[in-house]
Amino acid sequence: MAEMPEGLNLNRRDALLIAAGGVAGTMMAPGAAVAQGQTMQASSDTYPLAPGWRRFKHGDAEITVILDGVRPGEGPFPTFGEDKSQDEVGALMAANALPPARFANFFQPVVLRMGDQTILVDTGMGAGGRANGLGLLNQRLGSAGINPSDVTLVVLTHLHGDHIGGLMESGAPVFANARYAVGKAEMDFWTSDEAKNGPRAENAKMVEAMVVPLANRTTLLGDGDEVVPGMVARAAFGHTPGMFAFEVTSAGQRLFLMADTFSHFVVSLQRPDWQVRFDQDKTAAAETRRRFATLLAEGNIPFLGYHLPFPGLGYVQKDGDAFRFVPETYQHLAAG
């Protein structure tokens, strides 16, 4: 989803950023507002109210979602429901209390602390996004008490620009002590002549600049590979030829990082078969959505979606022949 229309309006963006923190803000404890906009002490039992990041415990793992930025614009048609009419997509939006022709895309890398590992999953837009108020990962890692040099492993779900843009600053790796992991099929595709010479050549160029220089520190993953103990790669092909979701299990509790499988909280679940412009293989992407939605719904397993409204954490329920998204509210808030 690297090539969304801009349509950026600073005031609207600021309003959205406030709204992104404001969901939690409605449940804010007295005194918590003091922490907003300041550096907060990282603590696993803080109900995280700072705009821009949210931390929760899952089993013994500590998980921090970092908001790299928000991009409001037109949509979701034709990015979502490309094979439908604008009216049909607009009607689905209206039925869900959403504006018919406006859409906000969120970008959310995740940090997992498991065992002795600090794992960053995807890296946001990086320097290339800053003119538009994106690329805030590094700054917000700092407010969440995480130093880039703490990161031991960077996992890339796939190699679109909005996931790899934060790997390098001025040509130097940002995560100086990290190793890297990415799907082998994904790496093979983006370094192929087909990718370099086809309609996706711009993205292939970015892979060449951001990912290929790290190859000697990179592990190439296959379906079912264990990235670290408790984190397993699960094929989620379609959006790209080698995208992986990641199944995280800690103290017997499961959580899925779904990358770009479900990128609109209404369309992707309620209309999983509708075509999405940025899905390279539309049929495979729809099959992947149905397969994972069924798995998540049957197990009542929480998941994180990279592009869902902040913090992109929620559940899937079956609804007739399709599904619906249930956002996380207080399921992960530790008992008093």
Interacting residues with Zn ion (CB under 5 A) = 1, 162, 260
Kindly tell me which of 1 and 236 has the beta carbon lying closer to Zn ion: 1
For residue 201, what is the enclosing H or E element? helix 201-210
Kindly tell me which of 50 and 125 has the beta carbon lying closer to Zn ion: 125
In DSSP terms, which residues pair with 142 in a beta bridge?
none
Give least dist CB 263 to Zn ion, A: 7
Burial code (b: 16+ CB inside 10 Å, e: under 16) for 262-288 equals: bbbbbbbbbbbebbbbbbbebebbbeb
Strands (E), the chain: 53-58, 61-66, 69-74, 102-107, 110-114, 117-121, 153-156, 168-169, 172-173, 179-183, 218-221, 226-228, 231-235, 244-250, 253-257, 303-304, 313-319, 322-327
Kindly tell me which of 1 and 98 has the beta carbon lying closer to Zn ion: 1
The candidate with the shortest Cα–Cα distance to 143, out of 27, 42, 7, is 42
The separation between CA 219 and the C-alpha centre of its own chain, rounded to angstroms, equals: 21
Please give the Cα distance from 4 to 138 (Å, whole number). Answer: 23
Kindly tell me which of 138 and 261 has the beta carbon lying closer to Zn ion: 261
The candidate with the shortest Cα–Cα distance to 328, out of 55, 50, 18, 35, is 55
Give least dist CB 201 to Zn ion, A: 18
Give least dist CB 276 to Zn ion, A: 11
Please give the Cα distance from 238 to 234 (Å, whole number). Answer: 13
Give least dist CB 234 to Zn ion, A: 17
Give least dist CB 255 to Zn ion, A: 19
* Both tokens assigned to 11: 């005031």
Residue nearest to Zn ion (CB): 1
CB 123 within 8 Å of CB 165 = yes
Give least dist CB 183 to Zn ion, A: 15
Give least dist CB 238 to Zn ion, A: 13
Burial code (b: 16+ CB inside 10 Å, e: under 16) for 22-49 equals: eebeeeeeeebeebeeeebebeeebbbb
Give least dist CB 162 to Zn ion, A: 5
Kindly tell me which of 162 and 247 has the beta carbon lying closer to Zn ion: 162
The candidate with the shortest Cα–Cα distance to 244, out of 255, 268, 262, 260, is 260
Kindly tell me which of 52 and 124 has the beta carbon lying closer to Zn ion: 124
Give least dist CB 318 to Zn ion, A: 26
Kindly tell me which of 107 and 325 has the beta carbon lying closer to Zn ion: 107
CB 295 within 8 Å of CB 288 = no
Kindly tell me which of 122 and 247 has the beta carbon lying closer to Zn ion: 122
Kindly tell me which of 58 and 239 has the beta carbon lying closer to Zn ion: 239
